[in-house]
Structure formats: structure tokens, C-alpha cells
């Protein structure tokens, strides 16, 4: 049997602590075996999982319908029900995702550097898997498959803890992955679904730093903060973005308008949507009325500094708190600045180092902005919405890191790896 | 004035909290300016500092003599006094170190990846400084200069907190760096020495995660554990190594003997010295008596499993605790194993994932060991002692990371950087 036998082996027969330790140790053991699994086996599992998903679509939809019915009874919002719901299109999308991960290069084994030292020692710095990932997510059942796929392709074992709302859907999906794993020869326990309803299981697992190398919480900020507070191992943090668009005095104003509207309105509940607009004073009178009209006509509430209030009708005064707020909705704060330096200062003071854009035709302005704005992604003459693993060419992503260490910005296959040095001599010993 | 004006500006005039916040904010501001400082200015500072060190050697030695005299009064061990002591040779070595860092390539601005997306967006993944480093170290005053040099060359501002035993020496060294900084045009406060004797200053600074990007404690394990427990920002951990040498059944036994003796005895108090010897049963009878003789004649105490005890005189029985112990001194534990798999199991169970070596002539054994042993460095037919930034070709190192995330193994200039994405469009907006 390729995957944790939660069905035959009642999770909590001997208590939560031993159950969690067993999960952790099985994952650690699987991770060790995964280091020897060739790319062809990992890809075979991905493709077979995609096939089985489509073949077993009826059973998956049936399990999902029960989750959805229960969600409605529990009073989930319609947005939450929508996130939970699967349909043939969405399952097709999940299968396509698996196939596209199969087509990506395997990061494991890549030589990152090295050479021959003057004494003849051969140095290779080689990319290797991290080991064991613990993935905690909320209701979207497709994340079960995406996360497992990215983990296995990058050579890592994974523990999956999904939201209770999607338990039946996730179980049905995992059983498909499990079947494909058995058939493809993946190590047993490479993918384990943490099935107990006991909420303390997360806290217990977060203590097992000898078994788990990295925790990835995907969900609201409160989930992430709780995980950071409790985890004894590193956490890949995926906080939100307070993203800015700065319209420079040398901006093409038609381009600026298109970018501001897109960055604010194309999708509002996401971390790379714009929350603040900064406009250079010299173009503000020409730009702001048009921008305000375009935004207000799309239902965006504007909050501005006194000058903006004077020029534009229907603008609410912005408070200091507005400059720091990630609205994740139809509100935009607007400030007029006297210089590029002032714009950069504002972004450094109030921003979240996530994604910030400049619109300018001046190359030295663009260079200064991209050098001095300390954000994971700096956009020049394009929308903040492009800060995304797919758009940047990573192929697949498990989240956007707001950390500076290890991984910054979108986390794909490479970001779930580390490296080791392999040093080969011919009896070399050190003299000094 | 280029560096924190601790002399003119009494550190604690307005209390510890405001003092620490001022240090942090000055460093943050300097870090922002450092992002614009060209390589030539950083190198000019390094070379000028080297010149000034040699020019002002008498003053430095005088300050150091007072530290040494006080250390003797306080009853420091002779090893501690030796670590504290400077002499013209050692200062010459520090100056040489500065010049060699000047000659290394600047990591900042390196393009790590990118290209043009199908929609025409240009993606650059660019190496950038981390920002502000907080370096906490114990008595060696040379670390003051080494750490500042590596920080500035990689574009980071640095807060330095040295041990109280070396306060006068470190101050004298910092004033040299300060003079060179003024002359070379480094940003003010790029290097700040935390001079107050108040021990609470470290705890206060460890709370300032909005000002400090990374803490690097260099010293004993208790210092590192304290910093990890208190710090709100990431910590580069540099724990010790429980390193193994495995002598395979296909080893060249003369090579194995040379490597074991070197790995254990060439320098014993360091993290990459060997602490355990594993020997394949089929060569143990031929190898162990010679190895024991060579080691015992060098004063090494051997602790072994029952078979080793039977064959070799003067061996102490090894307990389970011995397999996990990093002796950092003249003791070696020895175990006979029946297979390569058993050796790898032992290393995975008892090792510290730091540095482990195999001696073998068999290529598939070497490959299996290097793939399955999950350590920062795996040595094939060479001594564990080569796991070191200089030996691996990094040029300069600030420590050896025992973490898997961000940096693993020796940390040089690159490991003190992160990256950002710079995305350039021509008015690109996102459609879906």
C-alpha cells in the first residue's frame, strides 16, 4: 500500500501523539526513499493520477456533493461554497495541472555550481529535495492534488491537512493519487492525508521538527500567524500584499490608466492587486480625473489626500491607516507625491514588500525604482497582477513567499529544494 | 561621520529601547542607501581599511593588550586568551582577508534567471542584498572586521555585537573601519558597533524585526539557542557537527587511514572534525588495529562496540549516547557495520546532517552514499575537514549553516543575499 493506511489503521487508536509521530516517521522514511526515485517514476505517477482523476470523476463529484451539501447546512458563504465545489471542468483543470507538472524539468540533481579546486578536490553543489513538507490548507479541494504533485515532483514527501469542509472531496482525491502511487512505484507513505477531525493534530505535528523540514500554511493570515507561533520548524510564509502603482511624471498616461485599472479591478481579493495609487504632482491634474472616472465607474471607492479630494468628487479622506491597509476589495487609496524619492519613501514606509509598480518612460527613473524598492517583485510599465508563478514562468507554484530568506515571491519546484555539497578527492587530507 | 556615533552620543541617554530603535532605524536607512553603492566604492573601503589597519597597528595592539590583561585578571582560560589576542601577524592576516574580499566578485546585481514570456513581458530574477544583518559573536576581535567586510561587500548594513572581553580591541578595529568608510564614501551607519555593556541590548535588538533582516550568532550552542528562542527575525544557525567517516568494504585502506587520522586529529575543536568511525565488517579486522594504533598514538581515546573492544586494547565501551555526541576533543567512537545501508542508517539516526565521509573505490557505493546521506556536505575519499568556505571555493565565509532552508553549509557573500523579480512590460495588463 502506497499511502498512509488511515482507513484500515484507525488514526487515534493509540492517541494523538503516537499517531502524529507515526505520520512523521513514515514521511521521513518515504523522503529518504524519494531521493532515489528517478524522474520517470515521478512523471509516470503524475500522468497516471491525471488519467485516474478523469476516470473516477463520478465518485469524486459524489463525495464533493456531500461536502457541498454539508457546507450549505453549516451556513458557508456562497463564496466559500464556490471554492469548495468541484465540477467536470475543474477536475479537468486539476488533471491538466498534473500533466503540466509532469512536463516541467525535475529540479533534483541540478548542478548549481562547483569546479576543481587548486588541490584537485572536485566540488559539486547539487540541488536536492528538502525532505518532508507539511501542507496545511483551507477549503479548496484542488489544493490537495496541486500540493501533492509539486511536492513529489520536487522529491519531497508530504503531509496534507485540508479543511474539514472539504474532507470527503480531499479523501476521494487522495485515494486516486494513492492508487496511481501504488501502480507507479512511488515509496509508501510519500503522500499522507491527515484525516482525523481532532484539531489538535496540527499543533502536535508542528512540534515534530526532527520529522518535518518545512510547513506551508495556505489560507488566511490568522492561520499563518498561528502556524508561525507554534511551529518548531521553518514556515513558508505567504502573507498579503499592500501593493502600489506609482505614476511617474514621465509616464505615458494612457498606459498608466490601463495599468491602474487592471491592477485594482481585474481581480480584487488577491495579494497582487493594487491597494494604493501614487501620482507625481506634475501629471496629477491631467491623470487623476480620468483615472477616478474609470475606477469609480467600476464601483471602486477612492480615498485620497486633501489635494485629491479637492479635484475629484466623491473621494473619502484617507487616514494614515489607509496607506497601510490591504483592502482586498473595491477601495483604492490615492496620494500625490512631489518626487520619485517621495514615492519610494512612501512605499518603503507603508508597503508590504510584495509587489510595486512604476509607470514611466524614463529609464533612469525605472532603474532607480527597481533598485530602491525592496519588494519581491518590481513591475515596470506592467500590472502588479503579473506577480504570479505562472506569469513569471515558474510553471507551477505552491504560494508566494513574503519572506526574504530561502524563497522570495512565487514558490515553485526549485523553492521546495535545498542543496548539498558533494566533495570528491583521492585521499585528500587537510594540512592547515 | 560614517558610523554610529556612540562616543559623542551616549548610547543610553534616553534608555535602552530608544537606543536600540535608533540603531535599527539607522541601519535600515543605511541599507537602503547601500543598494545604490557601486562595487568600486565597497572595494575601495575594503582596501583602505586594510591599509589603515596596518598603519594603526600600534594603537590596535595597545587596546588589545588592555583586553588581554583584563581577561587574565578575570581568569579566562589560556585558550580564551589566545582567541582574544592580536599580534602583528594576526592583524596582517585580517588585512589580507580584507584584500581578498575586495578581489571577490560582487554578488549584488547578478542575474539569476529570467527571459521573455510569450506575452513579451521581460523577467529578470536579480540578486540583491538582504538588508540589515545583526552579528553577535564572542571573543575573537578579528571577527569584527571579517563580519563587517562580508556584510558590506554583499551590500548589507551590519550591527556588530562583540563579546565584552574584546570590547577595547573591537572598538579600535571599528574606528579604523569607520575612518576608511568616511574616506571612501560608504553610507553613514552602514557599520554600527553596539557598545553598551548592558546585556539586555541583545534581547531588545532581537525584537526589531522591522529593522533587522537576519541575525547571525557565532559562538557556543547556548548563545545560538538563546538567540533562536528570542529572535523575531530569521536566524542563521551554526550548530555543531557530529561528523562520520565510513570505511567501506571497497576502501583503499591506506587512504582510509590517512583520512580518518586527518578528520579526527588535524584540528579537534571544530565542527567538521570527525566524531565517529564506521567500518564495514569485511575490512574491519584488517583496518581497525592499524587505525587504532595511529589514533591512540596521537592521544585519541577510542570508544567502540563489543567487537571493537574484543580486537583492540584500551577501548572503552561505547554507549548509545556516544553515537550522538560531538566530542570536539580527543575521543572517537567506532562501530562495525554489516553493510553500506547500515552505515547510512546509523548516520541518519545519530548524525547532525553536517559533514559525512565515505572511503571507497566503488563508484556505485560512493553515489549511493552521496545521494542518501542527507548532510550539508558529503565527502568522497577526502577528509571531513574540507567542509569550509575557503576550501570549497567561496572565498570568504561568515559561518557554516546547519539549516536546510536559505543557506546550507558555508555562508559566504551569496548566502547574505536574496533576490527580487524585476518585470518590464510595455503597458501589459493581465486578462485572466
Range scoring the smallest mean pLDDT among A394-398, B41-45, B304-308, B321-325:
A394-398
Query: Which stretch of DSSP H or E encloses residue B380?
Result: strand B377-382
Averaged over B405-426, what is the pLDDT? Answer: 96
pLDDT digits (tens, 9 = 90+) for A218-272: 888 889 999 999 999 999 998 889 999 999 999 999 999 999 999 999 999 889 9
Q: How confident is the model at residue A7 (pLDDT cuts 50, 70, 90)?
A: very low
Rounded to an integer, the average pLDDT of B82-102 is 95
Considering chain B, tell me which residue range(s) the CATH 3.40.309.10 domain(s) occupy. Answer: 243-390
Note the pLDDT tens digit of each residue in A294-350: 999 999 999 999 999 999 999 999 999 999 999 999 999 999 999 999 999 999 999
Q: Which of A121, A388, A394 should one mutate to test binding to chain B, selecting the residue with the greatest count of B CBs within 10 A? A: A121
Of the candidates B202, B197, B205, the residue with the CA atom closest to the CA atom of residue B164: B197
Residues near A43 by Cβ (< 8 Å), separated by ≥ 6? A102, A153
| b/e map B306-316, b = 16+ CB within 10 Å | ebbbeebeebe
**What single-letter DSSP state applies at residue A301?**
E
> What whole-number percentage of chain B has pLDDT above 90?
87
Q: Which residues pair with A331 in a beta bridge?
A: A301
Q: For residues B10 and B330, what is the distance between their CA atoms, to the nearest angstrom? A: 47
CATH code of the region A243-390: 3.40.309.10
Q: In chain A, what residues touch B408 (CB-CB under 8 Å)?
A: 418-420
Q: Domain A16-236+414-421's class?
A: alpha beta
Chain B residues with CB under 8 Å of A370 CB are 420, 422
Nearest-by-Cβ selection for B418 from A262, A405, A422: A405
Closest CA to B301 of B313, B283, B290: B313
Distances (CA, A) of B288 to A232, B159, B278, B293, B366: 41, 50, 10, 8, 21
* Contact at CB, B214 and A405, closer than 8 angstroms: yes
The average confidence (pLDDT) of chain B is: 94
Which tens digits make up the pLDDT trace of B54-69?
999 999 999 999 999 9
User: Beta-carbon neighbour count of residue B290 at 10 Å?
Assistant: 14
Instruction: pLDDT band for B4, please (50, 70, 90 cuts).
Output: very low
Please give the grid coordinates belonging to residue B263: 578528520
Instruction: For residue range A59-103, list pLDDT tens digits in order.
Output: 999 999 999 999 999 999 988 899 899 999 999 999 999 999 999
Cβ–Cβ below 8 Å for A374 and B128: yes
The pLDDT score that the predictor gives to residue A9 is: 52
Other CB atoms within a 10 A radius of the CB of residue B304 amount to 24
pLDDT tens track for B162-180: 988 999 999 999 999 999 9
pLDDT > 90: what percent of chain A?
A: 87
Q: How confident is the model at residue A5 (pLDDT cuts 50, 70, 90)?
A: very low
Contact yes or no for A213 and B255 at CB 8 A: no
**Strand order of the sheet with strand A111-116?**
A111-116, A122-129, A417-428, B377-382, B355-359, B243-247, B274-280, B331-337, B301-304, B316-317
Contact across the interface for B32 and A374, Cβ inside 8 Å: yes
* Rounded Cα distance, B219 and B246, in Å: 29
Strand A417-428, strand A122-129: pairing: antiparallel
pLDDT at B10: 58
Give the phi and the psi of residue B212 in degrees, each rounded to 5: -115, 130
In angstroms, the separation between the Cα of residue B421 and the nearest Cα of chain A is 5
Which chain A residues are closer than 8 Å to B123 by Cβ?
A: 392-393
Angle made by CA atoms B286, B290, B292, in degrees to the nearest 5: 115
pLDDT at A4 > cutoff 70:
no
- pLDDT tens digits, B349-404: 999 999 999 999 999 999 999 999 999 999 999 999 999 999 999 988 888 999 99
Q: What's the pLDDT score for residue A2?
A: 38
Q: How far is CA A21 from the centre of its chain?
A: 27
Please give the Cα distance from A28 to A156 (Å, whole number): 9
Closest CB from A262, A381, A423 relative to B377: A423
The pTM for the full model equals 0.92
Best residue in A421, A426, A432 to probe B by mutation, most B CBs within 10 Å? A421
Nearest-angstrom CA–CA distance, B398 and A137: 37
Split at pLDDT 50, 70, 90, the class of A140 is confident
**What stretch(es) of chain B map to CATH 3.40.605.10?**
16-236+414-421
Q: Taking CB atoms and an 8 Å cut-off, how many pairs form between chains A and B? A: 198
pLDDT band, residue B9 (cuts 50/70/90):
low
Amino acid at each position: 500500500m502506497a499511502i498512509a493506511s488511515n482507513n484500515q489503521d484507525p488514526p487515534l487508536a493509540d492517541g494523538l501523539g503516537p499517531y502524529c509521530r507515526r505520520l512523521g516517521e513514515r514521511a521521513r522514511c518515504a523522503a529518504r526513499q524519494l531521493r532515489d526515485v528517478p524522474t520517470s517514476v515521478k512523471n509516470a505517477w503524475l500522468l497516471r493520477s491525471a488519467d485516474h482523476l478523469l476516470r473516477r470523476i463520478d465518485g469524486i463529484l459524489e463525495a464533493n456533493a456531500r461536502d457541498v451539501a454539508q457546507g450549505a447546512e453549516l451556513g458557508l458563504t456562497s463564496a466559500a461554497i464556490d471554492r469548495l465545489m468541484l465540477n467536470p471542468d475543474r477536475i479537468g483543470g486539476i488533471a491538466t495541472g498534473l500533466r503540466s507538472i509532469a512536463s516541467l524539468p525535475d529540479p533534483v540533481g541540478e548542478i548549481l555550481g562547483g569546479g576543481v579546486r587548486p588541490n584537485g578536490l572536485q566540488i559539486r553543489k547539487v540541488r536536492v529535495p528538502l525532505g518532508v513538507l507539511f501542507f496545511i490548507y483551507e477549503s479548496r479541494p484542488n489544493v490537495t492534488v496541486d500540493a501533492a504533485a509539486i511536492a513529489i515532483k520536487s522529491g519531497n514527501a508530504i503531509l496534507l491537512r485540508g479543511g474539514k469542509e472539504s474532507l470527503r472531496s480531499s479523501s476521494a482525491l487522495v485515494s486516486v493519487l494513492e492508487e496511481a502511487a501504488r501502480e507507479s512505484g512511488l515509496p509508501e507513505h510519500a503522500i499522507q492525508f491527515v484525516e482525523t477531525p481532532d484539531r489538535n493534530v496540527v499543533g502536535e505535528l508542528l512540534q515534530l521538527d526532527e520529522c518535518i523540514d518545512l510547513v506551508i500554511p495556505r489560507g488566511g493570515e490568522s492561520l499563518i500567524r498561528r502556524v508561525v507561533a507554534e511551529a518548531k520548524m521553518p514556515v513558508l510564509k505567504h502573507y498579503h500584499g499592500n501593493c502600489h502603482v506609482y505614476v511617474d511624471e514621465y509616464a505615458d498616461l494612457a498606459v498608466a490608466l490601463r495599468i491602474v485599472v487592471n491592477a485594482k479591478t481585474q481581480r480584487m481579493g488577491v495579494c497582487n492587486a493594487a491597494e494604493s495609487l501614487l501620482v507625481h504632482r506634475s501629471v496629477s491634474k491631467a491623470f487623476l480625473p480620468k483615472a477616478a472616472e474609470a475606477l469609480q465607474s467600476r464601483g471602486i471607492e477612492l480615498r485620497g489626500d486633501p489635494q485629491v479630494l479637492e479635484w475629484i468628487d466623491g473621494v473619502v479622506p484617507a487616514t494614515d491607516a489607509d496607506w497601510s491597509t490591504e483592502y482586498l476589495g473595491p477601495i483604492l487609496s490615492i496620494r500625490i507625491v512631489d518626487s520619485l524619492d517621495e514615492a519610494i519613501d512612501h512605499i518603503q514606509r507603508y508597503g508590504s514588500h510584495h509587489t510595486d509598480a512604476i509607470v514611466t518612460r524614463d529609464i533612469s527613473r525605472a532603474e532607480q525604482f527597481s533598485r530602491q524598492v525592496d519588494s519581491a517583485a518590481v513591475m515596470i510599465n506592467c500590472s502588479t497582477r503579473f506577480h504570479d508563478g505562472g506569469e513569471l514562468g515558474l510553471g507551477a507554484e505552491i504560494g508566494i513567499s513574503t519572506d526574504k530568506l530561502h524563497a522570495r515571491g512565487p514558490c515553485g519546484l526549485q523553492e521546495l529544494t535545498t542543496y548539498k555539497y558533494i566533495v570528491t578527492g583521492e585521499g585528500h587530507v587537510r594540512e592547515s
